[in-house]
Chains A and B, each alone.
Chain A
Amino acid sequence: MKFQIEKDVFQDALNQVQHVVSTRTTLPILSNVLIEADELGLQLSTTDLDVTITKRISAKVSKTGKTTLPARRLASIVRELPTSEIDFEVNEDNAATVKSGPSFFKILGLPSEEFPVIGEFGEAKEFTIDQKLLKDALRKTSYAISTDETRYVLNGVNCLIGEGMLTLVATDGRRLAMVEQDLEFPAGNETAVIIPTKAVNELQRLLGDSGELKIALTSSQASFELNESHLITKLIEGNYPNFRQVIPGAANHRVTIEREVFLNAVKRVSLLANEKTNSIKFAFDDNRLAISANSPDIGEAEESIDVRYDGPRIVVAFNPEFVMAPLRNLDQDEVFIDLIDESSPGVIKIDEPFLYVIMPMRVAN
């Protein structure tokens, strides 16, 4: 196998695929990237057996063939190479020589036959949607995914397609983020799947701001095809909890807040959040919001900002991280907070079909 490739193209492609590769693995082949050269160019693939990413790039191939090379090492070498043209040659023993200007590297790889073959995709339900739409939706929900591995069904984004809508939900039992987007799809294709965290993260890296992507879903696998990239992931099998049960009904009081002002104030006050309870207090009162934190051994912080609110005084405590997460991932200038009372969950909303339910912390006084 022999080819010549531009450094930037190669580096970008390696960067996109190398995250899947796990650093600690019992199977050495899983740390490698599969490189396949044909007349049209190169195809790079990495997998951890759950998520597989394949990326096509153009290269001047003078001799076709395939091999696997350690993905991270290759990526760091390519990144440091001095010139923009790289000459690549791999012999029968899977030893690769990389030449770039005065630099010369020899990297030992593993035979391509060892690289796990991705299972064939069965009969799938297919959809085509805008990349931006999915990217936005994932960004607005993925931070609420649970990291608690004992509740594996929560370790992903629940993706429902039905009733003319694409609904994405993530929750960890303390907060819940949900996006609903209108989506046209063929009748009979209603489905619900849970996309695991890793695939969600990789997908966000791959998705761009324009163009479309093709999604195919079976009951155990999902495939996403876009921009010469292809991501295939196993799905989390199990029943996602009925999240609609915990979304509060009509709220009594609505607060309108400037998102950035709010985010920055919470960020500052949270520096002194009580370490034990990890909560800070939000006191809503007649067009004012006073955010305060109090750590008995360290000190206290308070910041007051203008909001639009005309209800009664409500003091409620939240985990500041849980408040900041959605604020960081929204673009709107204004957000709304719907409150029922001090012990009921608050709901952050925007002008678009998004909502974020957050459980108040129970604190004395």
Chain B
Amino acid sequence: MQSSPDPESHESSEKQDLGALWWSVSDDLRAELGASTVELFLPNFRLTGLDDSVAVIQVPGSGYALWAETNFKESILSTLQKHIPACKSFRFDVTDEEAVLPVEKAKSEKKKNKAAKLKERVLTERISDEKLVERGRAAGLVDLFTFENFVPGQNSDLAWAASQAVANEPGKTYQPLFFHSACGLGKTHLLHGIGWASLKKRPKSRVLFVTAEQFSNDYIDAIQNNALVAFRKKYREADLLLIDDVQFFGRKEGLQQEFFHTFNRLSDLGRQIVLASDCPAGEIRALEDRLVSRFQWGLSAEIHRPELETRAAILRRKRDDWSMLVSDELINAIVERVQGNVRILEGALIRVAMVTTMTDEQVEPARLDDILSDLVGSGASSGFVGLEEIKQTVAEHFDIEVNVINGKKRTKRVAEARHIAMFLIREMTDLSLMDVAASFGKDHGTVIHAVKKIKAECSSSSSMKGTVELIRRRLVRGGSSLESKRARRSSSPKSGSQNLDSNSYRKKFSD
């Protein structure tokens, strides 16, 4: 909260201090007693005061107080003392739901309303445009990704509407808002857009955009430097928290726990959280159930592939933004041929524009097939190979089901198929050993063994080499419409050698 003459602000900042302190105490307690125990016996407990040396802990029921005191008195006290050296003992303050008199409830409600109004006034204070951009950049927002630059279409109408609702009234409508889609369809753009729009509306609010990876790195740094308090302050006091690529939370237990608390804290305070992932929450690997259920709690909006008209609209917008000399007919021709995600579309546009500038004449639609030969073609036209796609193709080759490859069966045929799949995934994607192993439900050692074995067999047996090459060729030609973001990231020469990186093209172009 910013400066304010109201005496309540002092009180509430004291409360916030206690609150922040309590979060660290409660985390330590969770570590000491186990999270499930804390949830069972101290649900929603709060540190509400400190009378002399006696800490007052609020619990929502007499039963909790009795069992917590009988069983965990020493643990609670020693944890309290670690954070509050002056604390000599503690007592429970029981707030049975029934015990709260309606009158008191109304009173506290009123107080809350007043505080909320005050806060709203502070947050909506106007600032200059330069300051606004500065604040946005500091929050991790990218200038380009605004709502104005987004081209909504049928494919994204739900996500688009939800984004605007959330930007208008953060924390009131959908908590959390969860976007998922294949890569390159605009999740990140919408996240940034929400950030900008919300900042414009309430310039003084704390907006924070991070990728899951940044969040993870911050967390690890915080642990290393013993700076968890600062870390929590950063994330748990945000008014709007935007996290991209949350699928990377999968399999990171400590991180998930930290994020769980962050999530609870923010939603308790009525702050807005917006998440984006490349798959639905339920499909994120090794994500704790309690997080999955929280992700699914608010609104999940999927962004689909843009249909023809939207694709054309997007490219026209890009053309105008970049002042390219590409006619509408040409754009129509491009979007008819190229059906992939927006990045690929942009890549195609850039390439066509470049040919135009180099040859100084408009490209004939008929020539497009040549120019865009690698982008035009079957299915998703992503040109890249994903883990699931490899598994699918291998399974097809061996005429077995994919779930058999993922399963436990170890007959010769299945084991061979599994080994080849592991080998190809390692060869053709940049997935880590752990990722590959996890996708098979195996140990990473198993993957190492499989890769070695197939490599050895390829050099000793020509039939094995033939099989592997056959499947590889099938994959490169693109047999399946499956697509994986991670696989795409691997613009390694093995998988998509003839592919042009649209970003590097764009750079060249704008230079």
Contacts and interface: CB of A to CB of B under 8 A. Distances in A.
Co-assembled chains A and B:
yes
Interface stretch (B12-20, B36-44, B183-191, B377-385): B36-44
A340 B67 CA distance: 17
A248 B62 contact: no
Contacts of B34: 341, 343
A364 to B, nearest CB: 13
A318 to B, nearest CB: 13
Interface string B59-91: 001111111011100000000000000000000
Interface residues of A, number: 21
B42 to A, nearest CB: 11
Interface in A338-365: 340-341, 343-345, 359, 362
A311 to B, nearest CB: 16
B40 A246 contact: yes
A343 B37 contact: yes
B69 A173 contact: yes
B63 A239 contact: no
Chain B interface SS verdict (over half)? helix
B64 A246 contact: yes
A244 B37 CA distance: 16
A243 interface: yes
Contacts of B36: 340-341, 343-344
Nearest to A154: B66
B33 interface: yes
Contact of A245 (B37, B63, B70, B71): B63
A242 interface: yes
A242 B70 CA distance: 15
A362 B33 CA distance: 9
Contacts of B96: 242
Contacts of B63: 241-246
Nearest to A242: B63
Interface string A234-257: 000001011111101000000000
A241 B66 contact: yes
A136 interface: no
A258 interface: no
Contacts of B40: 246, 248, 344-345
A344 B71 CA distance: 12
B70 A174 contact: yes
B37 A241 contact: no
Contacts of A243: 63
A178 to B, nearest CB: 12
Contacts of A245: 61-64
Contacts of B65: 241
A323 B199 CA distance: 60
Contacts of A154: 66
A245 B61 CA distance: 7
A285 interface: no
B61 A173 contact: no
A347 B71 CA distance: 16
Contacts of A171: 66
A246 B37 contact: no
Interface in A154-192: 154, 171-174
A174 B71 CA distance: 7
Given A241-B61, A344-B36, 14 more contacts: A151-B66, A154-B66, A173-B71, A174-B67, A241-B62, A241-B65, A245-B64, A246-B63, A246-B64, A246-B66, A248-B40, A340-B36, A359-B67, A362-B33
20 contacts: A173-B69, A173-B70, A174-B67, A174-B70, A239-B62, A241-B62, A241-B63, A241-B65, A242-B61, A242-B62, A245-B63, A246-B66, A246-B67, A248-B40, A340-B36, A341-B36, A343-B36, A343-B37, A344-B36, A362-B33
